């Protein structure tokens, strides 16, 4: 899990046939994720398959996508190899319903992304919908085209899931993690068998929490949901940049760079990872707005990445900090100051016991010491740490102050 813990921040990419309808079918705009359009609009399979004939993303460039992830400061990339619609975005031998055999584009996107991630030093990971499959007669979930009760999951599991997982884990090099989804009421013996199958093929491949029954290597939080408290286990929040995973031209409700930076810091301050999504369009372009936001966050990470990457669990204070968030690594507490203090420009932290040897602005190459005072009020049994900041706010979104500690961090957690 070391690479996963160090990474803290990854790119999720939802791309498939659903980028063509892009949330609209027969003139009706459907809510929720556009990757669910086939189910939400109850599109007959024969109709939906016609999108494959149109799929020709001539602008697709794995190099550009991976370069964006690098510029954004994202250390891993999770790509939808097969989503709920059952369409494989790689050259699958066990199903000609795939991007190489069924589209005029005819290129293996998973292979191109795997090769680019290797070249550019991004950990390559794959999303795979292991239970829902709206194309295969025995996959779960298509209850509008065929009678739901006819599904025979064991057939689907043997004919499609295991062969495709074998293809993905033997033909595309090392896969950092497999991101399973919507296990619903899949029986535990299949989930266990899938875990063993993955471990037999690539022992180092991490499995996410949506394999089901807590059999994964880390806790998968709900979509766009950040836990209220710190979790000592490994965990990850998947997050959309707007309100859809797949591309939707009319969803312009994007989070700002400030929103993303504060969400990333919030997640990391609680020992989690943020997997932030982009949904490329039918031509293979990542929306310009998404690119802008990710680049802005990347600029902040270029200066402040030390306070995010490789950070670890620390004893949290039992009250909300009104100025921002803490993160921690190697005897350094990082104060993420979202709210600049008013005069005398001081931040006061109660209950922090460890001696602070030095405080300075992470963005200051000279590490000029900031005034620090630590007192203990015996009658109130209260530790007080004061850090004096410059009058002028340094970073309008999140200014990071480093506290070099004289030992492990200790807090008064009552």
Q: Which residues form the interface with ligand GLC (CB under 6 A)?
A: 14, 33, 35-36, 181-182, 223, 238, 245
Q: Whose CB is nearest to ligand GLC? A: 238
Element (H, E) at 404: strand 399-405
C-beta atoms surrounding 118 within 10 Å:
15
To ligand GLC, the closest distance from the beta carbon of 76 in angstroms equals 15
Residues in the chain: 414
To ligand GLC, the closest distance from the beta carbon of 339 in angstroms equals 31
To ligand GLC, the closest distance from the beta carbon of 80 in angstroms equals 7
The closest of 160, 148, 221 to 185, measured between CA atoms, is 148
To ligand GLC, the closest distance from the beta carbon of 105 in angstroms equals 22
Q: What share of the chain is helix, strand, coil (3-state, %, to 5)?
A: 30, 20, 50
- In contact, 370 and 379? CB cutoff 8 Å: no
**23 vs 324, which CB is nearer to ligand GLC?**
23
> Token digits for 70?
């690098």
**SS3 assignment, position 202:** coil
To ligand GLC, the closest distance from the beta carbon of 32 in angstroms equals 8
CA dist 410 and 355 (Å) reads: 9
To ligand GLC, the closest distance from the beta carbon of 236 in angstroms equals 10
377: exposed, middle or buried (C-beta count within 10 Å: 0-12, 13-18, 19+)? exposed
To ligand GLC, the closest distance from the beta carbon of 106 in angstroms equals 25
**36 vs 352, which CB is nearer to ligand GLC?**
36
**279 vs 324, which CB is nearer to ligand GLC?**
279
Count, in order, helices (H) and strands (E) of the chain.
Answer: 11, 17
**13 vs 411, which CB is nearer to ligand GLC?**
13
**210 vs 353, which CB is nearer to ligand GLC?**
210
The closest of 154, 79, 158 to 117, measured between CA atoms, is 79
CA dist 379 and 374 (Å) reads: 16
**35 vs 251, which CB is nearer to ligand GLC?**
35
CA dihedral 98, 99, 100, 106 (to 10 degrees): 160
**208 vs 285, which CB is nearer to ligand GLC?**
208
To ligand GLC, the closest distance from the beta carbon of 379 in angstroms equals 51
**116 vs 181, which CB is nearer to ligand GLC?**
181
> Edge-to-edge strands of the sheet including 356-361?
324-329, 332-337, 399-405, 356-361
């Amino acid at each position: 899990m070391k690479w996963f813990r160090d990474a803290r921040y990854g790119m999720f990419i939802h791309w498939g046939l659903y980028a063509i309808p892009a949330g609209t079918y027969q003139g009706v705009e459907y809510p929720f994720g556009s990757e669910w359009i086939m189910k939400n609009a109850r599109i007959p399979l024969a109709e939906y398959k016609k999108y494959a004939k149109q799929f020709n993303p001539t602008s697709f460039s794995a190099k550009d996508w991976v370069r964006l992830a690098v510029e954004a400061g994202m250390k891993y990339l999770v790509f939808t190899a097969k989503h709920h619609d059952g369409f494989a975005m790689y050259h699958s031998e066990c199903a000609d319903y795939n991007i190489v055999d069924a589209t005029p584009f005819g290129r293996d996107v998973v292979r191109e992304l795997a090769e680019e991630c290797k070249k550019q030093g991004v950990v390559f990971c794959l999303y795979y919908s292991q239970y829902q499959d709206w194309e295969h007669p025995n996959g779960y979930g298509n209850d509008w085209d065929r009678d739901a009760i006819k599904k025979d999951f064991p057939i689907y599991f043997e004919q499609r899931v295991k062969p495709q997982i074998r293809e993905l884990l033997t033909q595309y090099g090392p896969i950092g993690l497999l991101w399973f989804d919507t296990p619903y009421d899949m029986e535990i013996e299949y989930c266990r068998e899938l875990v063993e199958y993955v471990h037999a093929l690539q022992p180092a491949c991490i499995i996410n929490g949506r394999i089901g029954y807590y059999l994964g290597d880390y806790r998968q939080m709900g979509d766009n949901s950040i836990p209220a408290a710190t979790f000592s286990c490994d965990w990850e929040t998947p997050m959309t940049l707007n309100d859809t995973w797949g591309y939707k031209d009319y969803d312009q409700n994007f989070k700002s760079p400030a929103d993303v930076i504060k969400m990333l810091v919030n997640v990391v301050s609680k020992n989690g990872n943020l997997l932030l999504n982009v949904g490329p369009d039918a031509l293979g372009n990542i929306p310009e707005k998404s690119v802008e936001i990710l680049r802005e966050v990347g600029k902040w990470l270029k200066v402040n990445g030390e306070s995010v990457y490789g950070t670890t669990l620390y004893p949290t204070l039992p009250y909300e900090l009104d100025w921002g968030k803490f993160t921690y690594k190697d005897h350094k507490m990082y104060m993420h100051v979202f709210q600049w203090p008013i005069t005398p420009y001081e931040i006061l932290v109660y209950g922090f016991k460890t001696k602070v040897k030095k405080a300075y602005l992470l963005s200051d190459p000279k590490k000029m010491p900031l005034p620090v005072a630590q007192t203990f009020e015996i009658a109130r049994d209260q530790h007080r740490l004061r850090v004096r900041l410059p009058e002028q706010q340094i970073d309008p979104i999140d200014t990071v102050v480093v506290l070099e500690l004289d030992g492990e961090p200790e807090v008064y957690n009552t």
